[in-house]
Amino acid sequence: MSEIARIYGKTVTLTQRTVRGLERDGLIVAITHGRTRLLQLNPRWYGLAALRKLLQTMASAQPELYAPAESVRARPRRSGKPM
Amino acid sequence: MISAESTLDDVAFAVCTALDRARIEAVLTGGSAAVHYAPSVMQSYDADFILEFGVPGSAVAAALATIGFSPHKNGFFAHPSSRFTVEFPAGPLAIGSEILRSFSTERRGDEVLHVLSPTDAVRDRFMAFYAWGDISALTASLAVAWAIGDAFQLEVFERWATRSSHEEHDRNGYRSAAEGLIEFRRRLCEHLESHKFICEDFCEQPLRHAVEVRSSS
């Protein structure tokens, strides 16, 4: 959640509230791994294809979001290694 | 009357009946619909109902209060005597991108239950397996297919699963429905064998053939 908040420059509380609403409406789902919640579009939601298209259109209009999204580290880090 | 001994199906009938009396249409879906057709399947401790569009939450709460269910802060309804909860996921009634226009209605005494049709219950659980790679959902899908016997149209199911696969798999990288179908057939074969209804080359035959074998044994 904090990663998403950082990308969008919003508070974690606001992000949590937004995510909760999207989950309630069935647009996204969360899978918990330890203390991390992995969010994804709900593959079972009836409007998935249209939503994906809309999001792609919106993303292409907001290139300023690319840099913070791409800066999120996805590769592994050995434990004990300094940040 | 809901008690500690009430099954998930008992709860589903009671809830649907209470809503029906308040003129609210709700259709049982998800794992609880699978349990309705194949009671041995353990898919869930909650009854998931899709409500018709535009029903106010207060009307639902009032209807459920008549049978002892009260709303919980996390969005579900709980009963003091039952471990089963009731939830109302966002609608519409759909399997993937396909919006369902029809469902089954069953009666038990003076109770009524609107529920996914048998084949849609198989598809719904298969879709859960397809989307999440959840093996228990595949098991439930198979169990329902087996329980409903002749009512399950394997060829229709396979056409749908293959079409879904083409639509979603390459783009989304989800588990291929075609791979799932192979697993579906393999397990159905295992099930038949474990019940001594061995049918050579069953994996190439429609389910109807297996049912005939079962009936003649």
Q: What is the 3-state secondary structure (H, E, C) of A30-80?
A: EEEECCEEEEEECCCCCCHHHHHHHHHHHHHCCHHHHHHHHCCCCCCCCCC
Mean pLDDT of B43-64: 91
B43 closest CA partner among B84, B72, B4? B84
Q: Answer yes or no: are the C-beta atoms of B84 and B45 closer than 8 Å.
A: yes
Instruction: Look at residue B159 and tell me if it is in a domain.
Output: yes
Q: CA nearest B75 in A: which residue?
A: A24
In chain B, which residues have their Cβ closer than 8 Å to the Cβ of A46? 92, 94, 96-99
Q: What is the pLDDT of residue B197?
A: 37
pLDDT tens for A14-63 read: 999 999 999 999 999 998 888 888 898 998 898 988 998 998 898 888 88
Instruction: Look at residue B101 and tell me if it is in a domain.
Output: yes
- Most confident by average pLDDT, A5-9, A51-55, B43-47, B58-62: B58-62
CATH number at residue B42: 3.30.460.40
Is the same domain home to B204 and B127?
A: yes
Q: By mean pLDDT, which of B7-21, B115-129, B166-180 is the weakest? A: B166-180
Instruction: Look at residue B2 and tell me if it is in a domain.
Output: no
Where does a domain end: B116, B134, B169? B116
Mean pLDDT of B11-37: 96
The strand pairing partners of A32, in sequence order, are A37
Residue A33, chain B, CB below 8 Å: the answer is no
Q: CA nearest B174 in A: which residue?
A: A43
Is the same domain home to B30 and B62?
A: yes
Count how many pairs of residues, chain A against chain B, have C-beta atoms within 8 Å. Answer: 26
Instruction: Look at residue B180 and tell me if it is in a domain.
Output: yes
To the nearest whole Å, the CA of A14 is away from the closest chain B CA by 18
pLDDT tens for B175-195 read: 455 566 666 666 666 655 554
* Angle between helical axes of B118-132 and B135-148 (0-180°, round to 10): 160
Is the same domain home to B14 and B99?
A: yes
Is the same domain home to B125 and B72?
A: no
Is the same domain home to B107 and B136?
A: no
Where does a domain end: B100, B116, B132? B116
Q: Count structural domains, chain B.
A: 2
Instruction: Look at residue B208 and tell me if it is in a domain.
Output: yes
Q: CA nearest A49 in B: which residue?
A: B97
Mean pLDDT of B111-135: 88
Q: What is the mean pLDDT of chain B?
A: 80
Inter-chain touch A43–B172, beta carbons under 8 Å: yes
Instruction: Look at residue B43 and tell me if it is in a domain.
Output: yes
Inter-chain touch A24–B90, beta carbons under 8 Å: yes
- How would you class B71 by CB atoms within 10 Å of its CB: exposed for 0-12, middle for 13-18, buried for 19 or more? middle
Instruction: Look at residue B3 and tell me if it is in a domain.
Output: no
Is the same domain home to B156 and B130?
A: yes
Q: Tokens 């609210």 — which residue?
A: B24
Q: What is the pLDDT of residue B173?
A: 47
- List CB contacts of A72: < 8 A, sequence separation 6 or more: A3, A7
Is the same domain home to B23 and B74?
A: yes
How far apart CA A26 and CA B195 sit, in angstroms, is 39
The partner residue sitting opposite B75, judged by closest CB among A24, A26, A49, is A24
Is the same domain home to B34 and B132?
A: no
Inter-chain touch B96–A46, beta carbons under 8 Å: yes
Instruction: Look at residue B187 and tell me if it is in a domain.
Output: yes
Inter-chain touch A43–B92, beta carbons under 8 Å: no
Q: What is the CATH number of domain A2-70?
A: 1.10.10
Inter-chain touch A46–B174, beta carbons under 8 Å: no
> Could you give the C-alpha distances from B7 to A59, B17, B42, B182, in angstroms and in order?
48, 15, 11, 33
Cα torsion for A20, B95, B129, B71, to the nearest 10°? 40
pLDDT tens for B131-178 read: 777 778 888 888 888 888 777 777 777 777 777 665 555 444 444 555
Q: What is the pLDDT of residue B6?
A: 93
Is the same domain home to B141 and B155?
A: yes
Residue A43, chain B, CB below 8 Å: the answer is yes
Is the same domain home to B103 and B136?
A: no
Is the same domain home to B136 and B67?
A: no
Residue B62 or B205, more confident: B62
**Would the pLDDT of B15 be above 80?**
yes
Domain range for B69 is 8-116
In chain B, the percentage of residues whose pLDDT exceeds 90 is 45
| Domain range list for chain A | 2-70
Where does a domain end: B82, B116, B150? B116
Q: Which two tokens stand for residue B185?
A: 């057939």
Which helix (H) or strand (E) segment is B71 a member of? strand B70-71
> Could you give the C-alpha distances from B95 to A4, B128, B157, B159, B179, in angstroms and in order?
29, 10, 12, 15, 19
